[in-house]
Chain A
Amino acid sequence: MASAGGAAPFWRAAGMTYITYTNICANLVRNCLKEPFKAEAMSREKVHFSLSKWVDGKPEKPTIRSEGSEH
């Protein structure tokens, strides 16, 4: 973290938001758990929703973000 004062941290320069960054870190931490706890923690990671962007009052085809784990 000893970058020049004012420079963005590496992840923001790469286009990630803070939320994405923390999610990846959390994912890594969850992967470090031992077995019985790991399964519980993995269940907290499931992502599923269906997103559709609207352009000019018309919905586009929805994309389903369904991931076992973030990224």
Chain B
Amino acid sequence: MAMAALRREGRRFATPLLSSPVRSSVISHSQEELPNGVRSISTQIVRNRMKSVKNIQKITKAMKMVAASKLRAVQTRTENSRGLWQPFTALLGDAPSVDVKKSVIVTISSDKGLCGGINSTSVKISRILHKLSSGPEKETKYVILGEKAKAQLIRDSKQDISLSITELQKNPLNYTQVSVLADDILKNVEFDALKIVFNNVPKLLLQWTFAPTCYAIMERESEAGGKLGELDSYEIEGAETKGEVLQNLAEFQFSCILFNGVLENACSEQGARMSAMDSSSRNAGDMLDRLTLTYNRTRQASITTELIEIISGASALEG
């Protein structure tokens, strides 16, 4: 842009040697909207862009700090909540590929955006699961937690959505909330198997460069077909039968897994937001560097122009 301006000025330089030299450098750094023939190289545009890019950089840096602090808060809770479902898996086993008639896919996503690609990966996995478990006489439905997955799944799977839940993170996440949610799902949706899809948190969370991430699928089979296995080695008190105990345990297991899933998803969301904001601050910084260079070149070009005019005017005076 600066080179073109210089060339333009070079051409004009040829003519004013003969014309009136008095019309000299009033130009300086400003205004667009000038009539043709008036020389001006405007740095205003570049300066405006630099200001807005700098503001964006400040905002993204602030968002990164906020996400980092939220991440720290959720992370300890997430790690603690893993202990809730691990004994279940050890005891009752996990059945990742069970063939049932009615399966329900619970997709956990975030409500807010600007968090990188985690919601898209969750939705992608959910769609794959849906395809895997569809077939004649088989029915698959979605239960969606979070705005972002809802927006994506509405586009092509409207008929298959059975429940959608939003505003989950208005209060800090706690078990009570998730268990009420689990209860609602259990009461409202018929299913033979439940699959929960969420973003898992990789172990290397300690570094700043968080790379989101993988996903995890947990499945929970309805109590009727559950594995009894090791439960036999435990003594059961009270007059409840093993079937009842299993049913209770299965419901509790679902609630625990959902709780862990929601927490892990929140953790990955903050981490992904941190890394997205970090890379966008860096991009803004790069853009700012390039704009500064352009600005300086433009400024120097306009100074050169002024000098040329003055000199040419002076030399025209001397004759």
Query: A interface vs B, CB < 8 Å?
Result: 1-9, 12, 17-20, 22-23, 26, 43-54, 56-59, 62, 64-65, 67, 70
Contacts and interface: CB of A to CB of B under 8 A. Distances in A.
B182 interface: yes
- Contact residues of A: prevailing secondary structure: mixed
B42 interface: no
Interface stretch (B119-127, B157-165, B195-203, B213-221): B157-165
Interface of B is mostly: helix
Given A17-B183, A19-B255, A57-B161, A5 B239 contact: yes
A58 B188 CA distance: 16
Contact of A19 (B158, B164, B170, B252): B252
B171 A1 contact: no
Nearest to A51: B165
A48 B240 contact: no
B165 A23 contact: no
A53 B186 contact: no
A48 B111 CA distance: 14
B30 interface: no
Given A9-B240, A19-B252, A57-B158, 11 more contacts: A1-B239, A6-B241, A17-B183, A19-B179, A19-B180, A19-B182, A49-B170, A51-B164, A54-B158, A54-B163, A57-B159
B161 A49 contact: no
B97 interface: no
